[in-house]
A = this chain, B = another copy of it.
Amino acid sequence: MDIVFFGNGISEDPNPDKIRLGGKGSNLCRMAALGIPVPPGIVLPTTLCRDYMERGHLPPELMPSVHEKLKKVEEATGRHFANPHKPLLVSVRSGAPVSMPGMMDTILNLGLNADTLKGMVLETGDERFVLDSYRRFIQMFGDVVLGIPHHSFEEILNHHKKKSDAVQDTDLKPAALRDIIDDYRNLVQKGTGQPFPDDPFMQLRMAVEAVFRSWNNERAIYYRRLNHIPESYGTAVNVQSMVFGNMGNTSGTGVCFTRNPSTGERKFYGEFLINAQGEDVVAGIRTPQKIEELEREMPDVYRELLRIQALLESHYRDMQDIEFTVQQGKLYLLQTRNGKRTSAASLKIACDMVDEKLIDPRTALLRIEAEGLPALLAPIFDPTEVNAARSEKRVLAKGLNAGPGAASGYAVFQSAHAVEMAAKGKTPLLVRMETSPDDIKGMQHSSGILTARGGMTSHAAVVARGMNKPCVVGCSALIVHEEHGYADIVTEEGRHVRINEGDEVSIDGTSGEVFVGRMQTVDSDIQRAMRGEIDPASSWMARDFFQVMKWADEVRRLRVRANADTPQDANVARSFGAEGIGLCRTEHMFFGPERLPFMQQMILARTQEERELALKRLLPFQREDFERLFEAMAGYPVTIRLLDPPLHEFLPHTDEQIAELSQKIGVTEEHIRERASTLKESNPMLGHRGCRLGITYPEITRMQVRAILEAACKSRKKNIHVHPEIMVPLVGHRKELSLQKELLEVEAKRLLAEFDCHVDYKIGTMIEVPRAALTADQIAIDASFFSFGTNDLTQMTLGFSRDDSEPFLREYLRLGVYERNPFATVDESGVGEMIRIALQKGKSARHDLKTGVCGEQGGDPTSIRFFNRVGLDYVSCSPYRVPVARLAAAQAVLASE
Q: Chain A: residues with CB nearer than 8 A to chain B?
A: 479, 674, 681-688, 690, 692, 695-696, 730, 732-733, 735-736, 739, 768-771, 774-775, 778, 792, 795-801, 803-805, 807-808, 811-812, 815-818, 827, 829-831, 833-834
Give Cα A14 to B827, complex, Å: 65
Chain B residue numbers with a CB within 8 Å of A692 are 808, 812
Asked if residues B797 and A799 are in contact (CB atoms below 8 Å), the reply is no
Give Cα A429 to B682, complex, Å: 24
- Beyond A681-B804, A775-B830, A829-B775, whether A686 also contacts B815 by CB under 8 A is no
Asked if residues A696 and B834 are in contact (CB atoms below 8 Å), the reply is no
Give Cα A436 to B770, complex, Å: 27
Q: How far is the CB of A689 from chain B (nearest CB, A)?
A: 9
Chain B, Cβ-Cβ closest to A806:
B688
State the 4 A-B residue pairs at the shortest beta-carbon distance, nearest first.
Answer: A686-B801, A771-B830, A683-B801, A687-B804
* Apart from the given pairs A695-B808, A770-B797, 13 other A-B contacts in the complex at a CB distance below 8 Å: A479-B674, A681-B801, A681-B803, A681-B804, A683-B684, A686-B795, A688-B805, A692-B808, A695-B811, A770-B830, A774-B833, A778-B829, A792-B799
Chain B residue numbers with a CB within 8 Å of A818 are 733
Chain B, Cβ-Cβ closest to A837:
B774
Give Cα A684 to B833, complex, Å: 25
Partner pick for A682 among B684, B688, B768, B812, CB 8 A cutoff: B684
Asked if residues B770 and A804 are in contact (CB atoms below 8 Å), the reply is no
Chain B residue numbers with a CB within 8 Å of A804 are 681-684, 686-688
Number of this chain's copies in the assembly equals 2
Give Cα A792 to B799, complex, Å: 9
Chain B residue numbers with a CB within 8 Å of A690 are 799
Asked if residues A688 and B807 are in contact (CB atoms below 8 Å), the reply is yes
Give Cα A768 to B801, complex, Å: 15
Give Cα A169 to B767, complex, Å: 60
Give Cα A682 to B437, complex, Å: 13
Q: How far is the CB of A866 from chain B (nearest CB, A)?
A: 15
Partner pick for A771 among B684, B735, B797, CB 8 A cutoff: B797
Partner pick for A730 among B686, B730, B799, CB 8 A cutoff: B799
Asked if residues B798 and A771 are in contact (CB atoms below 8 Å), the reply is yes
Partner pick for A695 among B801, B817, B831, B833, CB 8 A cutoff: B817
Give Cα A768 to B695, complex, Å: 28
Enumerate 12 A-B pairs (CB-CB under 8 Å) in ascending A order: A681-B803, A683-B683, A696-B807, A732-B798, A732-B799, A768-B799, A769-B797, A770-B797, A770-B799, A771-B827, A774-B833, A775-B830
Chain B, Cβ-Cβ closest to A778:
B829
Asked if residues A769 and B808 are in contact (CB atoms below 8 Å), the reply is no
Give Cα A741 to B829, complex, Å: 21
Chain B residue numbers with a CB within 8 Å of A798 are 732-733, 769-771
Q: How far is the CB of A845 from chain B (nearest CB, A)?
A: 14
Give Cα A894 to B195, complex, Å: 80
Asked if residues A830 and B735 are in contact (CB atoms below 8 Å), the reply is no
Chain B residue numbers with a CB within 8 Å of A732 are 797-800, 830
Give Cα A692 to B801, complex, Å: 13
Chain B, Cβ-Cβ closest to A808:
B692
Give Cα A479 to B671, complex, Å: 13
Give Cα A221 to B292, complex, Å: 89
Chain B residue numbers with a CB within 8 Å of A736 are 817
Q: How far is the CB of A803 from chain B (nearest CB, A)?
A: 4
Give Cα A49 to B803, complex, Å: 59
Give Cα A812 to B768, complex, Å: 19
Give Cα A730 to B735, complex, Å: 30
Give Cα A833 to B772, complex, Å: 12
Give Cα A687 to B806, complex, Å: 9
Partner pick for A812 among B695, B795, B797, B817, CB 8 A cutoff: B695
Chain B residue numbers with a CB within 8 Å of A799 are 686, 690, 730, 732, 768-771, 792, 796
Chain B residue numbers with a CB within 8 Å of A683 are 683-686, 801, 803-804
Give Cα A798 to B799, complex, Å: 12
Q: How far is the CB of A399 from chain B (nearest CB, A)?
A: 16
Give Cα A259 to B765, complex, Å: 56
Asked if residues B687 and A686 are in contact (CB atoms below 8 Å), the reply is no
Q: How far is the CB of A532 from chain B (nearest CB, A)?
A: 41
Q: How far is the CB of A687 from chain B (nearest CB, A)?
A: 4
Asked if residues A774 and B830 are in contact (CB atoms below 8 Å), the reply is yes
Q: How far is the CB of A673 from chain B (nearest CB, A)?
A: 11
Give Cα A70 to B799, complex, Å: 68
Give Cα A736 to B798, complex, Å: 12
Question: Max chain B CB contacts within 10 Å: which of A732, A792, A795, A815?
Answer: A732
Partner pick for A686 among B674, B800, B812, CB 8 A cutoff: B800
Give Cα A96 to B796, complex, Å: 44
Give Cα A730 to B692, complex, Å: 27
Chain B residue numbers with a CB within 8 Å of A735 are 815-817
Chain B, Cβ-Cβ closest to A769:
B799
Partner pick for A808 among B696, B771, B797, B834, CB 8 A cutoff: B696
Chain B residue numbers with a CB within 8 Å of A817 are 695, 733, 735-736, 739
Chain B, Cβ-Cβ closest to A682:
B803
Q: How far is the CB of A668 from chain B (nearest CB, A)?
A: 15
Give Cα A803 to B685, complex, Å: 12
Asked if residues A739 and B834 are in contact (CB atoms below 8 Å), the reply is no
Q: How far is the CB of A696 from chain B (nearest CB, A)?
A: 5
Chain B residue numbers with a CB within 8 Å of A479 are 674
Chain B residue numbers with a CB within 8 Å of A816 are 735
Give Cα A811 to B803, complex, Å: 29
Give Cα A688 to B808, complex, Å: 7
Chain B, Cβ-Cβ closest to A735:
B817
Q: How far is the CB of A392 from chain B (nearest CB, A)?
A: 31
Chain B residue numbers with a CB within 8 Å of A803 are 681-683
Give Cα A769 to B801, complex, Å: 13
Asked if residues B770 and A811 are in contact (CB atoms below 8 Å), the reply is no
Chain B residue numbers with a CB within 8 Å of A682 are 684-685, 801, 803-804
Chain B, Cβ-Cβ closest to A686:
B801
Give Cα A732 to B822, complex, Å: 12
